[in-house]
Amino acid sequence: MENNFIKSVEAIEGHNAGMPVKLVFLPDIPGKNINDKKDYCIKNLDYIRKLLTYEPRSASNSYGVIVTSKSSEDGDVSAIYFDISGWHDMCGHATLFLGSYLVKKKLINSSDNGITEVKIDAPAGRVVVNVSSLNGTVKNASLKNVPSFIHSVYSIPLNGKNIEVTVAFGGDFYAVIDLDDLNLKYSKDILPELHKIALQVMEKLYSKNIVHPLNSNINGLYGVRFQSIIDRNSMYGILFFGSRDRLILDRSPSGTSSSAHLAYLYFNKKLEVNREIKFLSSIDTVFRGKVLNEIKLNGYNAIIPEILTLDRGCYITKFSKYVIDMDDKINEGFEPPL
């Protein structure tokens, strides 16, 4: 085995509802709080993000989490999130995977039979994963997410007419659009069309003042989610996420955008507290979601959302070591041109 490598990163890889997750455990990231730890990652560890999301080592739909020491007295771990577009504040599918992995591998005090509460400090705030186990085997997991709310509503021209677009927060900011307003019904055949529309939405809302009321570091639109109703208790939630010039199709139903979607439904009086909704992804995998309660958040009406895996949901796929050969001219990799 060659040993002329200038950098290397080890990762535990898996998926939740079809969407990849890469966990990197670095217990000693400095910082007095989670925002300090995130800033340190941005300034010093961006090569990890590139190795785990850029070609030729990875695919553009890769998603990663740096797992480090807790940022609060009663927390278990801290999580800092990244993808090909940069560093982010929260990710639901990855957090559910992380909580399940910590319990499965007994990396925190956990119960072999019953529910283990995993308290995770994320840049968007404290989140809790409740992991259910039986005889040491993880059965399912639920995420109690950060307060989620409708931030603003815009009317923008799409498909030849003005369409109402709701910007909602669920750990990140998302634009939520009902496909009925576009005279569309979801099928895989229209995914290319939805991708084009999502890019238009991101561009049109790029200059808007979309900022979290309690944390100005959380700002800007991260994706566009399309709603397509199947029946009273189930619907598609098709998410494209990333940056204004590059959007990735989420393979999972997405935990953070499902939380934003719950806020959209609840405050438009289409959902009641504790009524469970099934959200289907672009590959027909499922998350369940419900509103636990309504709260006030610095002048906003907000909800506490819960996102649940349909079954175990989170699976390990491989254990990897990413390396950079000292003679590799491409070095940390490149963003795919298309």
| CATH number, domain 5-136+314-323, options 3.65.10.10, 3.30.200.20, 3.10.310.10, 3.40.50.720 | 3.10.310.10
What integer pLDDT is reported at residue 66 of this predicted model? 98
| Helix runs in 135-283, H state only | 191-204, 255-267
| CATH number, domain 148-309, options 3.10.310.10, 3.40.309.10, 3.40.1390.10, 1.10.1750.10 | 3.10.310.10
- Residue 200 structure tokens: 């238009």
What integer pLDDT is reported at residue 318 of this predicted model? 96
d(CA 215, CA 222): 16
What integer pLDDT is reported at residue 2 of this predicted model? 60
Q: Are the CB atoms for 288 and 123 separated by under 8 Å?
A: no
Domain ranges of the chain: 5-136+314-323, 148-309
What integer pLDDT is reported at residue 311 of this predicted model? 78
What integer pLDDT is reported at residue 229 of this predicted model? 97
Mean pLDDT by runs of 10 across the 338 residues of the chain is: 83 97 97 97 98 95 97 96 98 97 92 92 98 91 98 94 96 98 96 97 96 96 98 97 95 98 98 98 97 96 96 90 95 91
Residue matched to tokens 């200059």: 207
pTM above 0.75, yes or no: yes
Same fold, 5-136+314-323 and 148-309: yes
Q: Is 200 helix (H, G, I), strand (E, B) or coil?
A: helix
